[in-house]
Amino acid sequence: MMKVVVVDDERMIRLGIKAMIERKFTETDIMLAADGKEGLELCRNHPIDLVITDIKMPHMDGIQLIEHLHERETPPLVIILSGYDDFSYAKQAIQFQVMDYLLKPVDRNELFALIHKAKEKLETKLSLQKDEDEYLVNQLNYMLLNPKMNEEKVEEAVRKFQLHQYSSGFYAGVFQWKSHQSTLTRDDFFQHIVNQVQKYDDVSLCFVDSYENLVVFTECLEGLYAVFEENPFDIASHIAAGISDQHVSMGKLVEAYEQAKEALAYQFIFPHQKILTYGQVKAKKDDCTMVNKPLIQKIFNMLGTNRNDEIRLSLVHLFNIEEVKECRISCLEELNDAINRDLFDQAFNQIGMESIEVFKLYDQVGDMSNFENVYDYFHAVENLTIRLHEYMKEMKSVYSGETILDKAIAFIHENAHKDLNMAVVSNHVSLNYSYFSHAFKDYTGNNFVDYLKKVRIEKAKKLLADPNHKIFEISEQVGFGNSKQFSRVFRDLEGVSPKEYREKLNTERTFY
């Protein structure tokens, strides 16, 4: 929506121009001022796109108003309202690059043409600004992620991008959007943060980094904390922040960013602390004694035994939260790797691919970044470990009692002619589907489908010995859906078609 200020000391002219614009251009916000002083105040308090101003006015005339507007970093477009006898004044405005002139009395078609022209200029300006902003953000992200950016190169980039020089020192803040259940979007929260920070520091640099976090460089630390203090959106429930140490040299821009990002990472360990500073985390221990590999191996060894309580206690000891809080987050990442390698991967290799029902959790649990905090991660590890424990326990009971699998095999032989599948058989012997799949393959040397095919073909071979049975009838009697499928499976297993097999039998009878 284009924001317009109409400045004229004649009330009827102001109202007339406002009415004409509003009838033709519905998406405009028009404010009125009786002289240059009022107009300048409106421009200072609102982001104005276009000023339509008279020249001769009390208190502050139009030329003075234009001079003040021209001093602004981003001056609005200006259209001068001019009578025939005002042209000598209007010439003074040329140096301030006014957009155009409009003679009184105002002709609506001329006014509309100039408003259209202003809209086009603004759209072009916004498009160029957007392109420039996107280019700058891309270059800044490249600078932040490039490991070759030493201090000298960062300072060179700062000069190239014409960034503000924080001579009194600066801080980096990295804000992460944590919630996806708010009615407001991430951009809404980020815009609120930018607005709050810029109340304290209007030259702060704000942009979104490659990790979709909001990065803020500012010389005013209070502005970063004010984000959470002036909190209309309950922002603390949705945003977390990391703040760097103070730096003076602009060459430290990348280092400040890395410090803020590292501080933010500790929100995983301290989920109730919404602001973390680099000063709080840089002294954390780096000895990684919490990665207790013998204990991880002990937990693996206990899987499938009757030591349920000991497994849980060992996990609690492994995830000693007080010790976790004292260590660097890299230690927790090492613990994550050790658990994956020495517990989950070992268990997976032992129980095989048929355990997919259990291991469908592994993709999530294997990467601790999938969790909001260390507590959620611990509970997920505990849940998966116990699931593995119960699985392996069940497997041991199956292997120790082969009568269960004998019962399953007998059921398959008795019902091979029916529409049989592994779910039906596992239910018949009251075993979990995944447990049964793995145990069945270990016991028979075949997966369920291949075993069932062999049983059906063996039954078919006996029936083929009787010439009174037609081949398509045999196909149905042994459980195949159609004779083509029967012939294909028969050939795969026996090397010949059912017909060829029968002919061979007949030849052997004749010979003997």
Q: Tens digits of per-residue pLDDT, 254-286?
A: 999 999 999 999 999 999 999 999 999 998 988
Residue of 399 and 62 predicted with greater confidence: 62
Q: Is 403 exposed, middle or buried (0-12, 13-18, 19+ CB in 10 A)?
A: exposed
Which residue in 381, 384, 428 sits closest to 405, CA to CA? 428
Does the global pTM surpass 0.75?
no
Q: Tokens in use for 296?
A: 């991880």
Q: Quote the CA–CA distance of 289 and 324 in Å, as a whole number.
A: 10
Neighbours of 97 (CB within 10 A): 11
Q: Quote the CA–CA distance of 431 and 425 in Å, as a whole number.
A: 9
Q: Judging by DSSP bridges, how do beta strands 205-208 and 50-54 pair with one another?
A: unpaired
Residue of 401 and 493 predicted with greater confidence: 493
pLDDT band at residue 128 using 50, 70 and 90 as cut-offs: low
Q: Tens digits of per-residue pLDDT, 350-373?
A: 776 555 566 677 878 888 988 989
Q: Quote the CA–CA distance of 122 and 144 in Å, as a whole number.
A: 32
Mean pLDDT of 43-67: 90
Using CA atoms, how far residue 402 sits from 237, 390, 444, 451, in Å, is 55, 19, 11, 17
Q: State the helix-helix crossing angle for 62-70 and 36-45, rounded to 10 degrees.
A: 20
pLDDT band at residue 95 using 50, 70 and 90 as cut-offs: low
Q: Tokens 């392109």 identify what position?
A: 131
Is the per-residue pLDDT at 48 higher than 80?
yes
Query: In the sheet that 205-208 helps form, which strands lie side by side, from edge to edge?
Result: 205-208, 214-218, 171-177, 239-243, 275-277
Q: Tokens in use for 219?
A: 């010389």
Q: Tokens in use for 228?
A: 């959470």
Please tell me the predicted confidence (pLDDT) of residue 1. 84
Quick check: 55 and 98 in contact, CB under 8 A?
no
What's the residue count for the chain? 512
pLDDT band at residue 115 using 50, 70 and 90 as cut-offs: very high
Residue of 65 and 391 predicted with greater confidence: 65
Mean pLDDT of 76-87: 77
Q: Quote the CA–CA distance of 286 and 64 in Å, as a whole number.
A: 64
Mean pLDDT of 156-163: 84
Q: Quote the CA–CA distance of 464 and 267 in Å, as a whole number.
A: 72
- Alpha carbon 337 to its chain centroid, in Å, reads 22
Identify the helix (H) or strand (E) that includes residue 390: helix 374-400
Which residues on neighbouring strands pair with residue 100, listed in sequence order?
79
Quick check: 153 and 165 in contact, CB under 8 A?
no
Is the per-residue pLDDT at 323 higher than 60?
yes
Mean pLDDT of 459-473: 88
Using CA atoms, how far residue 3 sits from 9, 43, 64, 329, in Å, is 20, 10, 21, 50
Please tell me the predicted confidence (pLDDT) of residue 354. 53
Task: Write the single-letter amino acid at 214.
Answer: L
